[in-house]
Amino acid sequence: MASSTSVPAPRSRSKKPLGKMADWFRQALSRKPTKTPVSPENSRSDGSQPSSSDRPPALGPSSEASPTPPPTPTHLGAHGSSSSSSGRWSKDYDVCVCHSEEDLAAAQELVSYLEGSAAGLRCFLQLRDADPGGAIVSELCQALSNSHCRVLLITPGFLRDPWCRYQMLQALSEAPGAEGRTIPLMSGLSRAAYPAELRFMYFVNGWGPDGGFRQVKEAVTRYLQTLS
């Protein structure tokens, strides 16, 4: 006969009701995460932030609109004056002496007198002051341009030399009609031999410290006084 012993039924696992489970998930999802404020110190310590060398410098409110202008260069003259851009010190020489080759000794005598005077005139004598290796014509033109006055030694040798004629015409072209800048110093010639190109201006006649040299010095000094 079959046994009448009954087999016990399996236990049922305890489960939360489905309604409560849905409420729990709904509450969990509805919660918003709280933000933790980040202090400036923490943000600086972050390795992903650029270093101080990579960051551009901070600009002030007016740094972009008004940049700092470059410094204005200051020109200094022979005496270290900041006003050298005008007046006597705006040029390198006070007098450029134009002469013939045979009158070199006479030109040196005139230059020595002018430079040794109380005015201390700065003279250009081409064979003494021209740059070695420079072109003769270029050196002359530059000297005439960088001199306030020009003295032309009008002698028989000057009139015979085509180069002296070029010097005379170049001196006149540098300052046409400028009173007191071109000073003819005539010696050993009659008035009739005075060049026609210079007939519109007076000349100094004579030679030596007590003659024409003194008049040339006074003429140059008088012109320089008009520049100050």
Between vectors from CA 209 to CA 224 and to CA 144, what angle results, nearest 5°?
40
The answer to whether residues 125 and 223 touch, using CB atoms and an 8 Å cutoff, is no
**pLDDT recorded at residue 98:** 97
DSSP label at 183?
E
DSSP-assigned beta bridge partners for residue 93: 147
**pLDDT recorded at residue 209:** 84
- In a 3-state reduction of DSSP, which class is residue 176? coil
Dist CA 227 CA 193 (whole Å): 33
Which strands, in side-by-side order, build the sheet including 182-186?
123-125, 93-98, 147-154, 182-186, 204-205
pTM for the full predicted model: 0.62
Dist CA 154 CA 216 (whole Å): 13
**pLDDT recorded at residue 177:** 64
Q: Which residue segments constitute the domains of the chain, with CATH numbers given?
A: 93-227 (3.40.50.10140)
The answer to whether residues 186 and 194 touch, using CB atoms and an 8 Å cutoff, is yes
Nearby residues of 42 by Cβ (< 8 Å), 6 or more positions away: none
List the pLDDT tens digit at each of the 228 positions of the chain. 444 444 444 444 444 455 555 565 566 555 555 555 555 444 444 444 544 445 544 444 443 444 444 444 333 334 444 444 568 889 999 999 999 999 999 999 999 999 999 989 999 999 999 999 999 999 999 999 999 999 999 999 999 999 999 999 999 988 766 678 999 999 999 999 999 999 988 999 988 888 899 999 999 999 999 987
- In a 3-state reduction of DSSP, which class is residue 40? helix
Which residue type occupies 145?
S
**212, 215, 99: which is closest to 156 by C-alpha?**
99
**pLDDT recorded at residue 175:** 72
**pLDDT recorded at residue 110:** 96
Taking the CA of residue 92 as centre, how many other CA atoms within 13 Å lie in the half-sphere pointing to its CB?
A: 10
